[in-house]
């Protein structure tokens, strides 16, 4: 399997989006929401570009030098089109965040990814962990 440095930025963002989606879903289910309509509405508060950009702003001071470099790679990647309802600056930050989470996942740093997810969204860290 290729190392993250060998992956394209869009591929890491795609993977990171899935990692973050899993964390969001775990958090929402753990919070007691049980119906799909309520879960989907609540998830939008996490997955919108504006919400991800705000989370990125909270995370930047907490990132290591290497993590910051991965975030910047994603943020600075070329975007050919943006969703109509997303501010381009927010969309770039959101992409940077997704690349960071893709990188953390592919380098086996799940606990760090969970820690950063909780900090970015100002959640208690245990709310993003699977209960066994």
Report d(CA 75, CA 9) in Å as an integer: 10
What is the distance between the alpha carbons of residues 63 and 101, in angstroms, rounded to a whole number?
12
Model confidence over 113-129: pLDDT tens digits?
Answer: 999 999 999 887 554 45
Residues that are catalytic: 17
Domain-wise residue ranges, the chain:
9-28+35-128
Task: Please write the tens of the pLDDT for every residue from 95-104.
Answer: 999 999 999 9
SS3 63: coil
Contact 71, 96 (CB under 8 A): yes
Q: Is the full-model pTM beyond 0.75?
A: yes
How many Å apart are CA 71 and CA 116, to the nearest integer? 12
Among the four given CATH numbers 1.10.1520.10, 1.10.645.10, 2.20.25.90, 3.20.20.70, the one describing domain 9-28+35-128: 1.10.1520.10
């Amino acid at each position: 399997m290729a190392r993250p440095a060998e992956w394209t930025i869009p591929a890491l963002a795609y993977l990171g989006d899935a990692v973050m989606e899993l964390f969001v879903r775990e958090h929402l289910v753990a919070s007691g929401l049980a119906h799909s309509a309520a879960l989907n509405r609540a998830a939008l508060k996490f997955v919108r570009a504006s919400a991800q950009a705000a989370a990125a702003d909270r995370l930047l001071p907490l990132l290591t030098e290497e993590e910051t470099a991965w975030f910047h790679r994603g943020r600075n990647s070329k975007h050919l089109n943006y969703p109509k309802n997303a501010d381009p600056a927010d969309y770039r930050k959101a992409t940077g965040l997704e690349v960071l989470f893709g990188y953390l996942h592919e380098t086996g740093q799940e606990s760090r990814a969970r820690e950063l997810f909780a900090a970015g969204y100002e959640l208690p860290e245990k709310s993003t962990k699977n209960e066994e």
